[in-house]
Structure 1
């Protein structure tokens, strides 16, 4: 199912980046506005820190060591009209406001805090000292102050607010326009540049994830086929990152899944073939048993004693064949379930080979097959489960007799020990196994294609051989050429 664009990782990362840039831009604008105000106040204090003293001297507010209140009043009235950017106040020694250059009702404070005033008089070079704004209960502004009539004999203070209410309004209006313009430019530029760079970087990251997701979806939709695994490749990066590591592990995982899926499909095909083979192998003896028993039931009185014995003998033979098939199925099921674990013991393998071959003398005589034993070492001793290895030899020799031609040869060869193990070979002179079937001969119910099928051979023997050798953690394989017989090999650990 295709993911909506707004639900994609790329969109979420882009939206997150846009939100971050927006917050950063707004924070920068607010910080810039605050710093602009601080710089403006510092500049006013630096330029006008002697303004109050200059007003006293220029306007002759102090005359003959005394305060000229008439001159002070004229100064207040003059500056209220000519220069409303500053506000002038006359304070007593307790900070009470006695006179000011403002219209009635504008001044909201009756007194101000004198600590900043004294600090300014004592340290005139220090900047960023803010005092109370008589026109506001909350605001503090930069100011200039001087003691009058003089510092040594003060009767009060001339307190000048350097950024009056009118100037503040003008500055605020201009600052708002400037901040809106600059903030808009900064935000727009930051967003555009950040988004473009961010979107490019995010694309470089997310397209690999998107490609990986498409490959996985394609792998699933194509029934876990090997063709779809070709899309899984690791990015060629100088320094691998988490995504390239993820690509590597997913490539390995898909290959493993494909192998498992192929094995399951092959196993499913084998099960289908098994059902067909079991049906055939069970039906043949059962049909024969049923037919002979029905004949005996219906025509019992009309049959001679020889015919009755013949029918019963045939029925018994088919029952034995059916019993062998069922026993093979049960044994294979136990080996698959690992219910039978090998009981390891030391024994001479050559003696076991002689014992097993002795059991098949009658069968080989019927086809005039000669049995041979070749050993490259004297009485080798191996470590294995003697009962299970006997079953391996039984199945291999029985298989060799089954597929060998009349007047053929079967040879059991024991090679010299090498790397802690020896190899046992069962060689026949039968029809051989085609190359394309050699990899399948150890699978359940597999049989080589023969001109005619013989009863009682269900194709379980070699599969049981493989399971038993695997339980011993050894190897089994076949070598064969068409019409030149087959050579089955398995290894055993040296005791």
Structure 2
């Protein structure tokens, strides 16, 4: 049932109930305090009443305390002051004379302790004593009745008589009815004020926020959403709105990123298809030529076609291997197997490995270092793969009679060395440097084949170095060529 009630109604009902409880509690406490204060004031005002009556009426001081004369005296005083009831008690508290009708007396004795506390002023007002005509305590005035020096009883005067209580309760009921009506009217006014304030400062902004969120949901997040704007409201609603706006901004950013990634993916597929189609078409062409003209081709020409087909097949395989390697690296499931080894050793090994390929282009491949004892702890296989890509890239972009240097330089930072692959090639256009390590970017034509290729090798190198805890940078040399460098930690 409560689940079907709107938040606004729940809040209004809750606040109204709390308001009524607080108001009724305040009224009850106020009336209780008022009652105690009135009783204290009346008892203080009439505290000497019994003593004056005993002093001014000799009959009360005689031993005929139960005589009709005293009863008539009490009756006369009640007529003059209907607010009082008069009782004469013996030394044990037994009622021996009184101003009321006999059938109205429900108890025959009164506890004397409150009376003695009153007479001896041992307790703060109001002090309550037994009511001979009722079960509730009453404020009173009391005095000792003596015959000479002998105490013969007490004069016990109830300040609020039954008649007084009857009149007071009737008036009190009327006042309570007025109070209830006033509370009801105040509650209704408060409810209307609450409705207005809630609609203006809380409910309406919350509805606007809900409407904006539903609008986002209806478009299925297929397009960018506008930021939510709601009327100025409570800090909680503003905080909630800001949180949703941050979420929308992040969602829009992710939406833009997805569109960019999708566009880059399409561009990458286009470039991949081009780079795959070129060697594949060449391979197919040579094989078809060999197949159609196998009896007409000279052995030397046939061998040339076979070698070109093999070269294109190797090129195709190398490119496909790079695609799979890049996908594997970007999956995030690649770890490094660190081991300690001399850095100079891997540089000299790579020099020997690429010397034949460099010699074919009349390129000088050299190693430059000052300290051959420097060691590092890293994944030797991944480091070698990085250097392979950089050296192959340098050979591809360096013309004949060029120089490629593998340099090991100690830096000013402790335990840090820099490995540099420097060439004297054609260099890199400055506008291409920021995109050089992007797999989706097609670089300039190489010095080797005059074709534009996407830079998978450099992208793979950057990802491998990231796994090794390093990063790669590139810059053009002052004279010619470019330099690729990264840092390693020595041990």
Shift, 1:283, TM fit? 3.2
Shift of 1:487: 1.6
Matched, 1:375 2:400: no
**Structure 1 residue matching 2:86: 3-state secondary structure:** strand
Gaps (5+ residues) in structure 1?
1-5, 227-257
Matched, 1:440 2:435: yes
SS in 2 for 1:438: helix
Quickly say closer, same or farther: Cα 1:77–1:340, change in 2 above 3 A. closer
CA distance in 1, matches of 2:294, 2:65: 158
Q: Residue 263 and residue 403 in structure 1: after superposition, are their counterparts in 2 closer, same or farther (change >3 A)?
A: farther
How far off is 1:486 after superposition? 2.0
- Mark the runs of 5 or more structure 2 residues left unpaired by the alignment: 1-5, 203-231
Q: Deviations over 1:247-269 (max 9, x none)?
A: xxxxxxxxxxx8xx987776665
Instruction: Assess if the C-alpha contact under 8 Å between 2:62 and 2:147 holds in 1.
Output: no
* 3-state SS, counterpart of residue 133 of structure 1: coil
Residue 399 of structure 1, CA deviation: 0.9
- Correspondence 1:474 to 2:470: yes
Aligned residues: 442
Instruction: Determine the C-alpha separation between the residues in 2 that align with 1:421 and 1:216.
Output: 44
Residue in 2 that maps onto 1:85: 83
Q: CA RMSD in A?
A: 4.5
Q: Distance in 2 between matches of 1:436 and 1:22?
A: 75
Query: What is the distance in 1 between the residues matched to 2:453 and 2:66?
Result: 137
Q: Is the 8 A contact 1:435 1:481 kept in 2?
A: no
State the distance in 1 between where 2:60 and 2:151 align.
11
Q: 1:247 matched to which residue of 2?
A: none
- Could you tell me how far 1:26 is from its partner in structure 2? 3.9
Q: Distance in 1 between matches of 2:352 and 2:434?
A: 31
**Higher mean Cα deviation, 450-459 or 421-430?**
450-459
Give the Cα separation in 1 of the matches to 2:275 and 2:394: 20
Question: Offset of 1:72 from its aligned partner?
Answer: 1.5
Q: Which residue of 1 aligns with 2:225?
A: none
Give the TM-score of the pair, scaled to structure 1. Answer: 0.72
Contact 1:61 1:68 in 2 (8 A): no
Aligned to 2:227: none
* Alpha-carbon offset, residue 457 of structure 1: 5.3
| Corresponding position of 2:40 | 42
Rounded to whole Å, the distance in 2 between the matches of 1:415 and 1:37 is 97
1:144 aligns with 2:136: no
What TM-score do you get using the length of structure 2 for normalisation?
A: 0.72
After superposition, the Cα gap between the structure-2 partners of 1:129 and 1:283, relative to the gap in structure 1 and judged at 3 Å, is same
1:83-482 equivalent positions in 2, closer than 5 A: 83-91=81-89, 95-102=93-100, 107-116=104-113, 118-120=115-117, 123-124=120-121, 126=123, 127-137=125-135, 139-148=136-145, 150=147, 153=150, 157-172=154-169, 207-224=234-251, 270-297=264-291, 300=294, 305-306=299-300, 308-336=302-330, 337-349=332-344, 352-365=346-359, 367-368=361-362, 370-371=363-364, 373=366, 375=368, 377-379=370-372, 381-383=374-376, 384-406=378-400, 408-419=402-413, 420-450=415-445, 458-480=454-476
Once structures 1 and 2 are overlaid, which stretch shifts more, 337-346 or 92-101? 92-101
Deviation digits for residues 104-123 of structure 1 (CA, Å, limit 9, x no counterpart) = 75x25132432336524752
Are the aligned partners of 1:434 and 1:481 in contact in 2 as well (CA < 8 Å)? Answer: no
